[in-house]
Amino acid sequence: MKKYNICMVGIGAVGTEIVRLLRKRNFPLAKLTAFATRERTEMIDGLPVEVKVATGPESFKGYDFAFFAGTEGAKGASKTLGWGAAEAGCIVIDNGDDFRMDPRVPLCIPEINAEALKNHQNFIANPNCSTAIALMPLYALHREARIKRIVCCTYQAVSGSGSAAIRELEEQTRAWAAGQPITHEVYPAQIAFNVIAQIGSEAKDLPGYTSEEAKLGRETRKILGDDAIQVVSTCVRVPVFNGHSEALHVEFHKPLTPERARAILEQSAGVTVVDDLSQSLFPMPIDCSGKYDVLVGRIRKDPSIENGLALFVAGDNIWKGAAQNAIQIAEKMIAMGLK
């Protein structure tokens, strides 16, 4: 079996999980290097990862894939180094949002639109974590009954903001338990025992909405290939360490019963149905964290509109929402003979 040289730009929360998942998924790995702002050796699960400083396109020569592993909202790395790496012959898989809507760049969830990878120019984008988690169950339902409109409310874990946000929630929780003053730096307000109805800055092209909320609509339409789908969302940060949850209210063009939707989802790759209200079984972030699949449940009719369903989903935002999806893109490209 051919093996591949891999590099990462960034070794934070997403980069660390890429290393773990490459090993866990037995990726055919020949060499692994990380690029960051200073040279060092990082120990991940007891194994060393060499960290170098990328100076330009020449740093990427000899590598097959480059994972740009910044957390959601991280800016600059792919703008500075991405296209240079691509021109050096390395396939860039970018977790950031700088090029997701670029017409040159496939925006890919392999279970949904792997065919888009055929048009790559050595540069592929990972979708936003909330988009990936929502579309994993919605895609199969879209194929059956065509989505007309999505109303989405997210409950997003602090890991989506990176390692510093995880530490901030830990420190605030300890301070609260000890009766000490609570301070905040990562978020505009205390996150422990609170919710913050802002993720990202105000969207320039959608007044009153945040950048995170705007992404859900744009990316959904690009991935599903349907510019007519309407999306409205409210994205909220919650005091959960890992695992994003989303309440989805979906209007379809055709009738779709909860029973038929459940049967479709039970046969959908990358999705696990957890749906028995009588037994208090429904998706929860504590259950999806560290799992490949997106959990879906609370599947029920929306009586307020014709052809409406409501459902609740939860997925690991660092895995399927970032690191796992990026690795799956590389795996799919190898399987399709694109690398």
Show which residues are catalytic.
Answer: 129, 244
How many CA atoms does the CB half-sphere of 131 hold within 13 Å?
29
Angle at CA of residue 62, ends 60 and 63, nearest 5°: 65
Burial class (CB in 10 A: 0-12, 13-18, 19+), 236: middle
Query: How many other C-beta atoms can be found within 10 angstroms of the C-beta atom of residue 294?
Result: 28
Q: With contact defined as beta carbons under 8 Å apart, do 265 and 299 qualify? A: yes
Quick one: which H or E segment has residue 231?
strand 230-237
Question: What's the Rg (C-alpha) of the chain?
Answer: 20
Helix residue spans in 178-323 (DSSP H):
211-224, 258-266, 285-288
Quick one: which H or E segment has residue 320?
none
**Sequence-separated (6 or more) residues with CB below 8 Å from residue 327:** 18, 21, 22, 25, 27, 67
User: What is the amino acid identity at position 321?
Assistant: G
In terms of residues, how long is the chain?
Answer: 339
Measured between alpha carbons, how far is 128 from 100 in angstroms, rounded to an integer? 9
